[in-house]
Amino acid sequence: MLPAKLSINAWTGPGTQVSAEVNAEDALRWSVRAKFPAAGRKLGPEIEAPEQQWWHEQHGWGVVLPEPADGAWSHEDKAWARDAPPAVQRLVQHRLGEPYRPAPVFRFDPALPDNYLRRYFPDGTKSEPKIGQDIGLSGKNSVPRYLLIVADPEAVPWRIQYALAQSHHVGRLDLDDEGLSNYVDALLSDWADCDADPQSATVWSVDLQLDADITREMRRTIAHPVYKLLNGDTEIGAGVDYLSDDRAVVTELVSSLRRGPALVVTTSHGKTSPIDEARRDELAASLGVLVDCQDHFVDGAALDGWDPNGAIWYAHACCSAGCDHGTKYKGLLTAGDYATTVVEAVAALPAQVAPLPASLLGRPKPLRAFIGQVEPTFDWTLRDELNRQPLTTAITKALYNRLYQPWPVGFAFDPYFRSVGELYTQWVKLKDRIDEGADERIILPDAARVRLTAVDRESLVVLGDPTATLPPLPSKRGV
């Protein structure tokens, strides 16, 4: 059954709950009114080299850039990323060892289908490989498993990152030249000047103590399970700081961050106000900043003077990673309801990376990675409606079981991203059943749930390099 109402983790002012009635008739049609998204995951034998070995030729690492608007660049220039900022050129030259340097550079061209990239070669040739088909560094049509998009989401759209994430481990950097240089310096030095403590972690979770509010569900299904895993670890337990209830405030978070934790996990609303059209610039400038239990903001000013020191930050909040121009939720919520108005106001902005992660990834001692959402998440996707089982196990396992191996952040979240393709496959099968004449009253609610979960999950993105790993725990050093 469709729920009567959906809530999202967006914040527009003190005491507001951003929810909307579900228009049953329209929402059921929304559930099957879309094209299957571009993706590409190749089934086949297990790759012999461990997938976390990003430097191995069977996996590899590369850069995705926009096709330059200026046609004066030669094939060799584009193969060597000479149209990109100096920091990117430095990264391409030095990220991989011989004989794979310079690292492969791929181009997004809007004239190509979304599941294709373009690669130029110094000899004047080019290729247009399909993503997810030939993984590695060995051939002209190969695409590395690990990809770093260096572009704003207007130049290389979020939908490309979503498609890539189903078969590759992908991250994004959208920074000014100084921030990009800071991040590349840290990455190439393997974070030599950063000393985030792997035995220290911060879990900060706003719970507004309202059963109808999504913050309670986020605490119960994400923050608290992660805390329990960290607290039960013999190397981390005493070093995990769990901030919720009246401790879920900006001042407590800042104090905890100054301890130098390697992992930061936050669940809260994300700021999505003001929503009136005349103040859209103000909305863009503060989009997605975290909101504490007293309606104060975790923004760049609140964290001024804090060195991320190579930490990894997971932020489950509306638009914590940014926004897209337009929304896939059109037709799901009742027109004119409050959540619908909020979603439409954000969707009217140009596609962008949120200001908080951009600030933290560009500092002199930057974050290794920030994992957040491009659109809001819904309460319906956090827990199974029949047995009330949390649907967030892949997140909690990524944040503890996989990141602390330590495995690259892109690889750590791979099961979560891989599930997107599986959900879309379920959705197509449900659409096929309708075409075959099955009872729509039974099929359409399932189609709505599956499609909403797929859209919700694919909007979680990695900002930063997908090869970034936590510093190892003492028991993992030298392993």
Condensed to tens digits (0 to 9), the pLDDT of residues 85-138 reads: 999 999 999 999 999 999 999 999 999 999 999 999 999 999 999 999 999 999
H helices present in 11-145, as ranges: 24-30, 75-79, 86-94
As given in the structure block, the two tokens for residue 101 are 């340097």
The values of phi and psi at residue 378, to 5°, are -110, 150
Q: For residues 446-473, b (16+ Cβ closer than 10 Å) or e, as one string?
A: bbbbbbbbbbbbbbbbbbbbbbbbbbeb
Question: Which of 171-185, 202-216, 311-325 is predicted least confidently?
Answer: 202-216
Cβ atoms 448, 27 nearer than 8 A? yes
Q: Which of 242, 208, 249, 196 is nearest to 223 (CA)?
A: 242
Q: How confident is the model at residue 70 (pLDDT cuts 50, 70, 90)?
A: confident
Q: For residues 45-69, b (16+ Cβ closer than 10 Å) or e, as one string?
A: eeeeeebbbbebebbbbbbbbbbee
pLDDT value for 36 = 61
pLDDT value for 42 = 46
- As a whole-number percent, the residues of the chain with pLDDT over 70 amount to 96
Residue 429 has pLDDT above 50, yes or no: yes
Q: How confident is the model at residue 388 (pLDDT cuts 50, 70, 90)?
A: confident
- As a whole-number percent, the residues of the chain with pLDDT over 90 amount to 77
* Length of the chain as a residue count: 479
Residue 47 has pLDDT above 50, yes or no: no
What is the mean predicted confidence (pLDDT) over 209-236?
94
* Strand pairing class (146-150; 61-66): parallel
Q: How confident is the model at residue 63 (pLDDT cuts 50, 70, 90)?
A: very high
Residue 43 has pLDDT above 60, yes or no: no
pLDDT value for 33 = 67
Average pLDDT, the chain: 93
The tens digit of pLDDT for each residue in 180-200 reads 999 999 999 999 999 999 999
The tens digit of pLDDT for each residue in 25-35 reads 777 677 776 66
State whether residue 316 is helix, strand or coil.
strand
What is the mean predicted confidence (pLDDT) over 457-472?
97
Q: Which of 466, 469, 470, 402 is nearest to 145 (CA)?
A: 466
Residue 259 has pLDDT above 60, yes or no: yes
What is the mean predicted confidence (pLDDT) over 296-320?
96
Q: How confident is the model at residue 13 (pLDDT cuts 50, 70, 90)?
A: confident
pLDDT value for 18 = 84
pLDDT value for 328 = 87
- Stated as kind and residue range, the H or E segment containing 344 is helix 338-347
Question: Which of 7-16, 256-265, 394-403, 454-463 is predicted least confidently?
Answer: 7-16
pLDDT value for 40 = 52
- Stated as kind and residue range, the H or E segment containing 252 is helix 250-257
The tens digit of pLDDT for each residue in 329-382 reads 888 888 889 989 999 999 999 999 999 999 999 999 999 999 999 988 888 888
Where along the chain do its domains lie? 5-37+192-476, 61-165
